[in-house]
């Protein structure tokens, strides 16, 4: 079985930014679900793990969140940086693994991912969820 990181790396190297819509039904659905948590994002540190192009995270950034996009793919992060510049959204871009988040414990307000967990073994899924919970503040929210 190929590692998820290698699968995504290959995919992102074949992708052109012009092929990725600015917003689509998937983005709308994730944004709707995140907003069901009744969180005011302004002033909150929000981490999207396995962020890809980070379209929803950039929208949260427009609402005042400090958006942090983490992905193993430098190409995906490059795409998200371009989109952030075009939208004039200040965000942080981190090349790193969802299996070992490079953030202090209890340092984030919201941690979420979409379309990521299903690419990992059950053992790794448990680790990913544990890492997400570790980085959350006591009253933070996790939605992996």
pLDDT per position as a tens digit, 58-117: 999 999 999 999 999 999 999 999 999 999 999 999 999 999 999 999 999 999 999 899
Residue 8, pLDDT > 80, answer: no
Residue 1, pLDDT > 80, answer: no
Residue 144, pLDDT > 50, answer: no
> Domains plus CATH for the chain?
4-8+24-143 (3.40.50.150)
The string of pLDDT tens digits covering residues 17-66 is 788 888 889 899 999 999 998 888 999 999 999 999 899 999 999 999 99
pLDDT attached to residue 64: 96
CA distance 99 to 48: 13
**Average pLDDT over the chain, rounded to an integer:** 89
How many CB atoms are closer than 10 A to CB 86? 11
Residue 10, pLDDT > 80, answer: no
**Which of the two residues, 143 and 112, has the higher pLDDT score?**
112
Radius of gyration of the chain (CA): 14
Cβ contacts of residue 86 below 8 Å, gap of 6+? none
**Which of the two residues, 75 and 9, has the higher pLDDT score?**
75
pLDDT attached to residue 42: 93
């Amino acid at each position: 079985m190929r590692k998820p990181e290698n699968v995504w790396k290959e995919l992102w190297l074949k992708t052109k930014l012009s092929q990725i819509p600015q917003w689509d039904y998937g983005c709308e659905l994730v944004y709707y679900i995140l907003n069901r948590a009744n969180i005011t994002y302004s002033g909150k540190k929000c981490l999207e793990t396995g962020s890809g192009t980070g379209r929803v995270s950039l929208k949260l950034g427009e609402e005042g969140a400090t958006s942090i996009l983490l992905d193993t793919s430098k190409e995906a992060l490059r795409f998200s940086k371009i989109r952030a510049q075009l939208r004039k959204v200040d965000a942080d871009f981190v090349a790193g693994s969802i299996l070992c988040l490079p953030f202090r414990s209890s340092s984030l307000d919201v941690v979420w991912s979409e379309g990521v967990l299903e690419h990992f073994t059950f053992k790794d899924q448990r680790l990913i969820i544990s890492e997400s919970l570790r980085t959350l503040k006591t009253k933070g929210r996790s939605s992996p």
